[in-house]
Structure 1
Amino acid sequence: MPAINKALTLKDLPTPPSDKIGWPWTEENQPLPERMPDGSEWPRISIVTPSYNYGQFIEETIRSVLLQGYPNLEFIIIDGGSNDNTVEIIKKYEEYFAYWVSEKDRGQTDAINKAYQHCTGDLFVWLNADDSYIEATILQKVVNYYLQGYQLIAGGCQDTYTQENGKNDIYYSYPTTFERYLKFWISNCNYTQPSVFVTKEIVDKCFPLDWQLYILMDYQFFLRVLSQQPKSIYVNQAWTNCKKHGLNKTMSDYPGGISEFYQVTTWESKKLPLLQRYLFLNELKDYAVIHSLLDNFNSLTPMQVLSSLASRPIIVRWPLFWKLLLKYSIGTKAYSWLKKLAN
């Protein structure tokens, strides 16, 4: 199945469900012409969607991609053998995919790795099966930045809560470096993954990702991207709608998250110069002690906090350690009152 070499419109796609209106069901935008003004092909954009039992969301994802009005699109879906209506929906649109498969796999990271083997685009992004583009001209905006020479093009995400009491928020990616991004306790992993497009020459050096990663495959990916110092642009516009419905991995209390951080940073820090890596790994050990204190906050006494110095005296250089010690000593309420007073 080849890449789509024409801009699709509503009349090309199957009729949407009768209860769906607006974007991307009954609305579209003016598509780009089949070729650029100089007569050459538009840069190819590869979009990968890993999927498993998200039939309630994936049709909106698919339509938001196909109705981008973009003439050189390579759309790949890797489904993990869904047993809901996901495959039925995929088959409804299958003529517009460059490749798709539904088979048992080893999880989301494995699916993304498999998908990348089929990617031939100049730009790459993965869009999860419960995410969608927020309007019809996102790819047109992205390609304009690509044609200016940018290798990492980052927009924002709007988190949309399906629960009635949820508050919709917009998040943006912010410039950072490989060294700073390694220190996850500082950077807070500030990349809005479905809105970040990266060029093939950069991405080719990032795959395969560690298939065993359950939640931090995007963190590993962006570390590998940043290690190559791409020419980057950060755009304060929401490009994707990321649904928060309670089943998201990022909303689950996954106990292995911190272990994955240690695993990824320990491995990827090998890209640092030897001395710099030694210093980083020492900071990582410091943070492991402090994180243990945070994790056991309700069960420790001030003396037990101080005793952590015996195993790791160097943590005294961390302001966070002294904040924790103060909070343990005077209690959370008094600490909060002091913070307000200080401000």
Structure 2
Amino acid sequence: MPKRSEPLVTVAVPSFNQGRFLAHALKSLFAQDPPLEVFVADGGSTDNSREVIARFADHLAGWRSHKDDGQAAAINECIARGHAPYVCWLNSDDWLLPGALARLMTALEHSPKTPMAYGRCWNHDEASGAQRPVWVEPFSESRLALRCIISQPATLIRRAAWEKVGGVDPALHMAMDYDLWWRLYKADGPPVFVEDFVAVNRVHNETKTRNKRHLHYKEAIALIRKYNGRVPLKWWLAQPYAVWFRTLIR
């Protein structure tokens, strides 16, 4: 076990033109209990992101701002620069709740053979301010085949497990997290579930999930076929509502 003064968690913060949210995300990280090494990978933002990063530079393990090969590649880059035994990423428009990483780390310490831990997460609607729970539930393979039951901001992964599967797939742009959960599970077994709410996913009009629903479903369905062998009927029945109807009523 590393000394207390050494980082226990490597955190990647991918960001692009999210300056208005970035400070909130970083503050939530630096309020966590375990010592962290935080790397910010900015994709060459044209807003105030560089100014925000500069305010936190003394607390960061590293940062850069230039055009890159996308979110997944930026996450892998940051994690590779660190050395802590646990890893995660936090998108710049999300944030962690107090004590989040400590709760997830404790769960992993109590389950030494599991590759990752995950907790519950809120969806925060930026327009209305309303919050509702993300659909998260205890792990089972059959349930994972029906929907993504793990919310990415609420996760913590062992570095050994991350490196074993090679991190997130840079060829994916919408469902990279869903793909990662499948690969971690197939390689090292099921994750451990924590009942506590540990993170908040910010919902706003610029998110990829909201603006590119058809691409998200296309990637997700391909992953289901790859890892589950077949695509459950639920995906075909839900797609018209989730992609086309919800796009029309936005």
TM-score when scaled to structure 1?
0.62
Over residues 41-76 of structure 1, what are the superposed CA-to-partner deviations in whole Å (9 max), with x where a residue is unaligned?
Answer: 666111111100000000011111112243x31111
| Distance in 2 between residues matched to 1:262 and 1:95, nearest whole Å | 42
Residue correspondence of structure 1 range 9-20 to structure 2 within 5 A: none
**Structure 1 position 119, deviation (Å):** 2.7
**Using a 3 Å threshold, how does the CA distance of structure 1 residues 294 and 51 change in structure 2: closer, same or farther?**
closer
Over residues 159-209 of structure 1, what are the superposed CA-to-partner deviations in whole Å (9 max), with x where a residue is unaligned?
Answer: 111212x6311236323345653x3xx2x1111111111111111122243
In structure 2, the partner of 1:240 is: 199
In structure 1, the partner of 2:176 is: 217
**Structure 1 position 98, deviation (Å):** 1.4
Contact 1:177 1:226 in 2 (8 A): no
Number of residue pairs aligned between Structure 1 and Structure 2: 239
* Match of residue 64, structure 1, among 20, 28, 39: 28
| Distance in 2 between residues matched to 1:293 and 1:175, nearest whole Å | 22
Instruction: Please give the secondary structure, in 2, of the residue aligned with 1:256.
Output: helix
* Match of residue 121, structure 2, among 154, 157, 162: 157
Q: Letter of the aligned partner of 2:27 in structure 1?
A: R
**Using a 3 Å threshold, how does the CA distance of structure 1 residues 156 and 295 change in structure 2: closer, same or farther?**
closer
In structure 1, the partner of 2:131 is: 168
| Distance in 1 between residues matched to 2:190 and 2:174, nearest whole Å | 27
Contact 2:167 2:180 in 1 (8 A): no
1:260 aligns with 2:223: no
Instruction: Please give the secondary structure, in 1, of the residue aligned with 2:134.
Output: strand
Q: Letter of the aligned partner of 1:66 in structure 2?
A: F
**Structure 1 position 143, deviation (Å):** 2.8
Contact 1:173 1:234 in 2 (8 A): no
**Structure 1 position 294, deviation (Å):** 6.4
TM-score when scaled to structure 2?
0.83
Q: Which has the higher contact order (CA 8 A, sep 6+)?
A: 2
Instruction: Please give the secondary structure, in 2, of the residue aligned with 1:204.
Output: helix
In structure 1, the partner of 2:236 is: 291
**Using a 3 Å threshold, how does the CA distance of structure 1 residues 205 and 93 change in structure 2: closer, same or farther?**
same
Instruction: Please give the secondary structure, in 1, of the residue aligned with 2:214.
Output: coil
Over residues 267-325 of structure 1, what are the superposed CA-to-partner deviations in whole Å (9 max), with x where a residue is unaligned?
Answer: 4x3xxxxxxxxxx54x33x759x8389649xxxxxxxxxxxxxxxxxxxxxxxxxxxxx
In structure 1, the partner of 2:101 is: 139
Q: Moved runs in structure 1, 4+ residues, more than 3 A?
A: 39-43, 177-180, 229-232, 292-296
The structure where strand makes up a greater share of residues is 2
| Distance in 2 between residues matched to 1:198 and 1:172, nearest whole Å | 20
| Distance in 2 between residues matched to 1:230 and 1:43, nearest whole Å | 26
**Which ranges of structure 2 fall in alignment gaps of 5 or more residues?**
242-250
**Structure 1 position 88, deviation (Å):** 1.0
Instruction: Please give the secondary structure, in 1, of the residue aligned with 2:164.
Output: coil
Alpha-carbon RMSD: 2.8
In structure 2, the partner of 1:118 is: 81
